[in-house]
Amino acid sequence: GLRCDLHLYKDQPHGFFNLKNKEYYTKTVAEMDQFLISLGFLKESR
């Protein structure tokens, strides 16, 4: 099987994680980075 991680953000509209909403943008990018690190696509930064 393939891996899929799901992170829910209750009551958020479409595109809520775009750069204009810095709080959710930062959280989304951090979650994405951790996912890619766990799969070996990225190396963890120091």
Tens place of pLDDT for every residue, the chain, 46 residues?
A: 899 999 999 999 999 999 999 999 999 999 999 999 999 999 998 7
26, part of any domain: yes
Tell me the residue range of the domain where 35 lies: 16-40
29, part of any domain: yes
8, part of any domain: no
31, part of any domain: yes
45, part of any domain: no
Number of domains, the chain: 1
Q: Identify whether the C-beta of residue 24 lies closer than 8 Å to the C-beta of residue 17.
A: yes
Structure tokens at 26: 């930062």
Beta-carbon contacts of 31 under 8 Å, excluding residues fewer than 6 positions away, are 5, 7
Q: What pTM value is reported for the model?
A: 0.80
